[in-house]
Amino acid sequence: MNAVKYLPDEYDAKGQLRLPFLFWLILLLLARTWLLLIMAGASRQQGSDLLGLFYPDRQAFWLGLMLGAPALAGLLLTGYRSRWPRLWQAWRWVLALSLAVNLAWQGISFAAGDLLTSPWPLLLTLFDGLALTWLLLNARLRDCFRQEHQLME
């Protein structure tokens, strides 16, 4: 006899397993440079000062935008999970790769001594590591990316 893994309340109106709240936080964590760009654009006069405070190196800013692009695409893909199931299933690995590249880039920056002036880069590195671990090991999130975990109507 098959045991019920998830209750019917854990599915949305489309019959798909609901994404965990931490997944949304991981997407925001990955898209942090984009969020900073939006805040800088909204604050007009202090925008360049705000960007300069967090990204004194312009190359780091552009790299942050590139590493955050998969998270933005992931935000858009959440609405099209049933329309593009193969792309959605692969997107978990795209996000994991993006986090791994981000961690490697931060490790190289730490080794060069660039990020040791403030505790924020170390804290973000810790969060990125935890996010990568959770993204790879959480069974519920893994099931959200599988097609067979849809509520049959």
Do residues 150 and 16 lie in contact, with contact meaning Cβ atoms separated by under 8 Å?
yes
- Condensed to tens digits (0 to 9), the pLDDT of residues 137-147 reads 999 999 888 87
Distance between CA atoms of residues 147 and 88, nearest Å:
9
Strongest mean pLDDT among 1-10, 52-61, 127-136:
127-136
Assign 3-state DSSP to the chain and report helix, strand, coil percentages, each to 5. Answer: 75, 5, 25
- 114 — pLDDT class (breaks 50, 70, 90): low
**Rounded to an integer, what distance in angstroms lies between the CA atom of residue 80 and that of residue 118?**
39
With cut-offs at 50, 70 and 90, classify the pLDDT of residue 97.
very high
Of 38, 7, 24, nearest to 77 by C-alpha is 24
pLDDT level of residue 151 (50, 70, 90 thresholds): very low
